[in-house]
Amino acid sequence: MVTRAENELLTRVANGAPMGAMMRAHYWVPAVLSSRLEAGGAPVRVTLFGEHFIAWRAEDGRVGFFDEACPHRLASLALARNEDCALTCIFHGWSFGVDGSVLRAPTQPGGEAEFCRTVKLNHYRTREGAGLVWVFLGDQDAAPDCPAFEWMDLAPEQTVVAGTLLGVNWLQGLEATIDSAHVGHLHEAWVKTVQDGRDLSRVTNEVVMRYEIDSQTYGYTAAALRPTGNGAVLARVTEYVMPWYGMIPPNYEGQDGDHTVIIAVPVDDEHTIQWYLWYNTKRPVAAMLRAQYANSMEMIKVRGGPEDMWGQDRALMRQGHPTGFRELVMEDFVVELSMGPIVDRSREQLSASDQAIVRARRLLLQAARDFQAGKPPVSARHEAVDYRAIRSRGGMVAAGADWRSLPY
C-alpha cells in the first residue's frame, strides 16, 4: 500500500524533511510539561523535529521558548542563569528577555544597546493548556491561534497529562493510537474489565469489525462497528485530528468517563514523545489516573529490549494473560518498539480492518505534497474548524441504526 519513497516522506521529520517542515509550518506542538518549568529555575531542553530548543519560566511566570544555542558562540542556553526575567548565557554574559529581545551583550565595547538590536535570537510563541506548554515553530508573524480543544482550559483536576519518550518513529505512535482493530486482541485483558466488569472480549475478538469513516476538514471520524449478536452493534467512534492527535472514547457505553487523547510528537526520525492526556468536562479525572500518571515524563518505564522481549512475562501468559504485560500502555509501547525504529511499510500486507491507517497515511502524504507545492494543507485551515466540538464517543446502537446518533 505504501512505497518506500512514500514511507520516507511519511516518516522523515528532521533536517528539513518535507513532513517535518510541513508540521512546523502549520501546527502547534505540545512540547513540555508545564510543571517542569519552575519560575526562576533551570531551563529545560526540548528536542523537536531533530532540532534543540529550551523552554524556561521567568520569575513573573511567563514562558520563553528559544533555540538552545546562544546566538553569540552557540553555547547551550540550558546552562544559562535565569534571573531578572531574563536568561543570561554563562559563556559571555549575553542576556535575553522572555520575548526574545537581546538585553545585554557585554562583550560589545561601546554601542551595546544598538548592537543588541541587530542580534537575532530565534524565539517562539507559546501557550499553556491542559498541563502542557504548546509552541508554534513556524513563521511567527503568521502563527494561527492554538487549537481551542475542549480540554485546553479545564480546571487542573479535570485533566491529567503524562508522556514517554520512545525509540520509534512518530508514525508508529500515531498508527497504534488510531487503530481500533487491535483493541480486543492486544488489550484483551483490559477489555474484560471495561464497562463495570462486563466481559466484552467476545465481541471485540470474535466478531469481524467494520469501519465507517467520515472525512472531516481536520482529519476524519472513524466508527469501528461490531455486531454483538443480540440485535445491537458496539460502536467505538474515534477522531483523528491532523497531524498527530488520536481521540479515544472513555468506554463502550456512556460518556461520563474520562476521555483519552494520545499525541505522537516527533522528536527526531527515530524517537517520539507519546503524550497521554486524560480529561473530563463534568468532574475531576479518576483518582487512579491522577495518582499514577499526573505530570509524569515516564508514565511507564520501558525496561529491557528485544533480547528479553521487554520483560514479557511468559509465566503470566501460561496463567491465561493474553500478552504477558500487565499495563495497557506498555502493550502498545512494546508492539511499537518491536517493529524497529522506522517501519518499512512497503513490506506490509494490509487487510480490511486497516482502513483508518490507510486513510491517515493518505491525508499525511497529501499534506506533505501540498506543502512541497507551496500550498497549505487542507487540515491547516484552522479557522474552518471548531476544535472545541471534536470529541470521541462510544456505545451500543440498534442494528441498522446510525452510530452518528450516539451522544457526545
Confidence at residue 205, expressed as pLDDT on a 0 to 100 scale: 54
Confidence at residue 192, expressed as pLDDT on a 0 to 100 scale: 65
- Contact between 277 and 397 under an 8 Å Cβ cutoff? The reply is no
Confidence at residue 323, expressed as pLDDT on a 0 to 100 scale: 87
What are the grid coordinates assigned to 349, written together?
Answer: 500486507
Confidence at residue 253, expressed as pLDDT on a 0 to 100 scale: 47
Residue spans of the chain under pLDDT 50: 195-197, 199, 201, 253
Confidence at residue 197, expressed as pLDDT on a 0 to 100 scale: 45
Confidence at residue 134, expressed as pLDDT on a 0 to 100 scale: 98
Count other C-beta atoms under 10 Å from residue 217's C-beta.
Answer: 14
**Domains of the chain: residue spans and CATH:** 29-142 (2.102.10.10), 156-405 (3.90.380.10)
pTM of the complete model: 0.92
CA 168 from centroid of its chain's CA atoms: 13
Compute the distance between CA of residue 8 and CA of residue 14 in angstroms, rounded to an integer.
Answer: 11
The string of pLDDT tens digits covering residues 142-157 is: 999 999 999 999 999 9
Count other C-beta atoms under 10 Å from residue 164's C-beta.
Answer: 20
Cα Rg, the chain, nearest whole Å = 23
Confidence at residue 125, expressed as pLDDT on a 0 to 100 scale: 98
Cα angle 345-346-351, degrees, rounded to a multiple of 5: 75
